[in-house]
Structure 1
Amino acid sequence: MVMRGSSRFMFPFCSGKKHQYVGADEFGYMLADILKQNDVDNSHLRFHPHARTALAFVTLKKNSEREFMLSCKPSADKLLCEDEIEARLIKKTSIFHYGSISLIEEPFRSAHLVAIDFAEKYGCVLSYDPILRPSLRPSSETALKGIMSVCDQSDITKISHEEVAFLIGGDDPYDNDVEFKGWVAGVKDEAVDTTGASFSFAGGILNILTS
């Protein structure tokens, strides 16, 4: 889990006060150093003695969309247990941002659910990113069940048109008759590299909401 800036945000994977595992390996130590160099409190970042830091390889297709390949199983981040969640950290936040990837495997699933419950208890605004990633899911059915299991708890959901199409059974996400409505026109531009774009967008919106 991560808390950002002046304890206003808590994110599963982002800048802020890091409350999560990485491996006791070169990549884990490098991530810890990067956080420190950017004035992020990493005092709650833990180094797992046996599991390695997860690696995500991102490649760009011809249309500038991304493909993901993840390495390391089980990775250190998935081994955070529910009794390691510190409620006092969540209590200090205004917005708790969470995703569904953390709900795929135990013990991180239970830890994540406990953190969400604490966030609700302390009156945080809950922001949710479904993050489909079919390659990480055992099946489409389990993906749908996992994504929807915590959707009702969110106050804000950041969702892509691919995820909307998946959740409504493959229908056109731009159809006005579907359950998801309220489109806002964006600015058209030529995509070069969309890596991290959705996180930046969500972070900007959440920052505006708490300004």
Structure 2
Amino acid sequence: MQKITCIGEALIDMICTDKGKTLEAGEHFLKKTGGAPTNVAAAIAALGGKVELAAKVGNDPFGMQLIHTMQEFGVNTEYMIATKEQFTTFAFVSLKEDGERDFVFNRGADGYLTLDETKSLLHNGTGIVHFGSATAFLPGHLQQTYHSLLNEAKEKNYFISFDPNYRHLLFAHQQQSFIKQSIQFIQHCHFFKVSDEEALLISGMPTVAEAADWLSQQSQATFCITLGKEGTLLSYKKQQITIASIPVNVVDTTGAGDAFVGALLYQLSTLPFTQLNQLKFEDWQQMVLNANKAGAKTCTYMGAMEAFKHLSNQIFHT
């Protein structure tokens, strides 16, 4: 089984449970382990994969929560750096009466992951590395580390996976920087996943079909565009097909995209490394169908980490 290395942010989501309240007016908050690569790592481990997470947290109760949660799932936390210099990153969010999100991002330790702290991370030369950070394209040490690790992964022949995880409330005034950096990663990875919103944003195209064609011209990678209940568009060597979603009674969609990515990477990790770039269109279709099952399963529980407790690779056989 191939080891999967996830790189990016680990943070705490503070979700206001007072319906329709702004963050100023809200009084009750639910504390949740978060961060897209953190979710992906947990999903991979829940499915039975071998995975490590490289991220930086504060040496505080919230950072310890993040590390211990990952350890409980079976994620290798050797490269989860706990620092006394910065606090753990927080994202505060509430849903206002008009349906808009009220959002405050208190960035701390996640942005300070340095090259020195990851210098022996990609020592293997074979394996899968996943870049899935929502914050790594923001200015800071993590940005430099992220791009340097991409170059190292290319040089050492890793199988490279990418998910940009666009957050409008983080990048509203930095969209062009986000787009430019996303294209750079797309051009150098072997697999990437984008949402329909991200596909339109990055490509500048008016429709998902046109965005898919544009992306296939920019990259040699196999890629997926998730379409919610409409399914998942799979593009492989200019061939495209939409694979249907799995109908479920949706409780919460948080973490569904990360479960999808985790399930797909887990399946890749079960194959010999030499086969990863020799898969056929039919192989990818089956893996995407299975990944859709993982995403659907996640939607039937409240909260990503709670949902991942119920994930296992047995869902692929149902």
Q: Structure 1-normalised TM-score? A: 0.81
Could you tell me how far apart the structure 1 residues matched to 2:243 and 2:159 are? 25
**Structure 2: which amino acid aligns with 1:145?**
K
Could you tell me how far apart the structure 1 residues matched to 2:85 and 2:121 are? 27
**Structure 2: which amino acid aligns with 1:186?**
A
Q: Which runs of 5+ in 2 are unaligned?
A: 8-36, 42-50, 216-234, 271-318
Displacement, 1:170? 4.7
Is contact 1:158-1:202 (8 Å) kept? yes
Residue range with higher mean Cα deviation, 10-19 or 120-129: 10-19
**Structure 2: which amino acid aligns with 1:20?**
A
- Asked which structure has the greater RCO (Cα within 8 Å, sep 6+), the reply is 2
Distance change in 2, residues 1:146/1:47 (3 Å): same
Matched with 1:108 is 142
Displacement, 1:68? 8.1
Matched with 2:63 is 28
For residue 122 of structure 1, the aligned residue among 148, 156, 180 is 156
Structure number with the higher helix fraction is: 2
For residue 174 of structure 2, the aligned residue among 136, 139, 144 is 139
Could you tell me how far apart the structure 1 residues matched to 2:184 and 2:212 are? 24
Tell me, what secondary structure is at the counterpart of 1:87?
A: coil
Distance change in 2, residues 1:116/1:90 (3 Å): farther
Displacement, 1:196? 0.7
Could you tell me how far apart the structure 2 residues matched to 1:37 and 1:67 are? 31
Larger-Rg structure: 2
Is contact 2:59-2:84 (8 Å) kept? yes
Distance change in 2, residues 1:89/1:169 (3 Å): closer
Matched with 1:3 is none
1:27-176, aligned counterparts within 5 Å?
27-57=62-92, 69=103, 71-73=105-107, 75-91=108-124, 94-99=127-132, 101-137=135-171, 138-175=173-210
Q: Percent identity at matched positions? A: 23
Q: Which runs of 5+ in 1 are unaligned?
A: 1-5
Is contact 1:85-1:114 (8 Å) kept? no
Tell me, what secondary structure is at the counterpart of 1:193?
A: coil
Is contact 2:126-2:157 (8 Å) kept? no
Matched with 2:3 is 8
**CA RMSD of superposed structures (Å):** 2.9
Distance change in 2, residues 1:88/1:53 (3 Å): closer
Residue range with higher mean Cα deviation, 150-159 or 183-192: 183-192
Q: Structure 2-normalised TM-score? A: 0.56
Could you tell me how far apart the structure 1 residues matched to 2:64 and 2:166 are? 29
